[in-house]
């Protein structure tokens, strides 16, 4: 009798020590996510990924939220080089229908969309988006990752509106932020309401020395 293949996700592979590095090496609310057994590069293809090297301080909490045990959004805070971006990229690679952006690039894209001139390649086509169509397109993604939030320590009105819209539209859905700032600093550069909404999700503190 033919047996159906067993589907495994990232966490099963990590626990069985069967993950492998992938990607190009470089010098430099509760919801379970649908995860695939084999990764597909979701963004930043030149960043080398090794799922087995996600620091334990990130791995455990991230596993919980991806399995629907703790609430979204996820905010991974920590000093530069502590594995925040690589951890978020690995999860995005293993999730069906994910989008990954640096924060600055995402804000630029959203600003361009406000004028109705954002051009994005979707499959083999270039599509033009305005603000609402852009967010409706992102709504189709199971996971949105915004990397290096507030890295410049200054937030424009446009960037604040992007943050607020992301929190509103992704409420209870897959959303990961990475940042070098703690929640108090986020409150300083955005405001207390944004910090409170992040704190209501899953906060992960990336500790330890640089992994670079």
Could you read off the pLDDT of 143-189 as tens digits, one per residue? 999 999 987 777 899 999 999 999 999 999 999 999 999 999 999 99
Average pLDDT, integer, range 13-39:
79
- Examine the pLDDT at 85 and tell me if it is beyond 90: yes
Closest CA to 139 of 148, 149, 129, 154: 129
Q: Is residue 3 part of a domain?
A: no
Residue appearing with tokens 């509103």: 168
Range of the domain at 56: 10-27+40-206
Do 114 and 161 meet the contact criterion of CB atoms below 8 Å apart? no
Q: Is residue 2 part of a domain?
A: no
Task: Give residue 28's pLDDT.
Answer: 44
Q: Is residue 33 part of a domain?
A: no
Q: Is residue 59 part of a domain?
A: yes
Task: Give residue 71's pLDDT.
Answer: 95
Whichever domain contains 86, its CATH number is: 3.40.50.300
Segment 98-135, tens digit of pLDDT:
999 999 999 999 999 999 999 999 888 999 999 999 99
- Both tokens of residue 116? 């109705």
Of 4-8, 23-27, 64-68, 162-166, the range with the lowest mean pLDDT is 23-27
Q: Is residue 182 part of a domain?
A: yes
- Examine the pLDDT at 25 and tell me if it is beyond 80: no
Do 64 and 32 meet the contact criterion of CB atoms below 8 Å apart? no
Task: Give residue 99's pLDDT.
Answer: 95
Percent of the chain with pLDDT over 90: 68
How many structural domains compose the chain?
1
Mean of per-residue pLDDT scores for the chain: 90
- Examine the pLDDT at 24 and tell me if it is beyond 80: no
Phi, psi of 133 (to 5 degrees): -65, -35
3-state secondary structure the chain: CCCCCCCCCHHHHHHCCCCCCECCCCCCCCCECCECCCCCCCCCCCCCECHHHCCHHHHHHHHHHHECCCCCCEEEEECCCCCHHHHHHHHHHHECCEEEEEHHHHHHHHHHHHCCCEEEEECCEEEEECHHHHHHHHHCCCEEEEECCCCCCCCCHHHHHHHHHHHHHCCCCEEEEEECCCHHHHHHHCCHHHHHHHHCCEEEEECCCCCC
Question: How does residue 16 score in pLDDT terms, banded at 50, 70 and 90?
Answer: confident
Task: Give residue 131's pLDDT.
Answer: 97
Top-confidence residue, 201 or 22: 201
Top-confidence residue, 64 or 44: 64
Q: Is residue 165 part of a domain?
A: yes
Q: Is residue 21 part of a domain?
A: yes
Top-confidence residue, 180 or 17: 180
pTM, two decimal places: 0.87
Average pLDDT, integer, range 47-58:
91
Q: Is residue 212 part of a domain?
A: no
């Amino acid at each position: 009798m033919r047996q159906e293949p067993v589907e495994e996700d990232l966490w099963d592979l990590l626990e069985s020590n069967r993950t492998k590095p992938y990607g190009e090496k470089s010098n430099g609310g509760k919801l379970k996510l649908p995860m695939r057994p084999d990764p597909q590069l979701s963004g930043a293809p030149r960043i080398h990924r090794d799922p087995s090297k996600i620091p334990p301080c990130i791995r455990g909490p991230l596993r919980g939220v991806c399995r629907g045990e703790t609430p979204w959004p996820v905010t991974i805070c920590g000093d530069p080089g502590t594995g925040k971006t690589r951890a978020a990229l690995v999860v995005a690679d293993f999730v069906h229908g994910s989008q990954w952006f640096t924060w600055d690039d995402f804000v630029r894209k959203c600003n361009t969309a406000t004028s109705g001139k954002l051009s994005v390649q979707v499959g083999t086509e270039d599509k033009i988006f305005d603000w609402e169509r852009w967010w409706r397109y992102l709504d189709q993604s199971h996971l949105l990752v915004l990397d290096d939030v507030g890295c410049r320590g200054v937030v424009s009105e446009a960037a604040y509106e992007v943050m607020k819209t992301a929190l509103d539209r992704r409420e209870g859905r897959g959303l990961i932020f990475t940042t070098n700032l703690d929640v108090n600093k986020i409150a300083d550069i955005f405001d207390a309401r944004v910090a409170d909404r992040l704190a209501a999700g899953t906060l992960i503190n990336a500790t330890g020395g640089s992994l670079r």
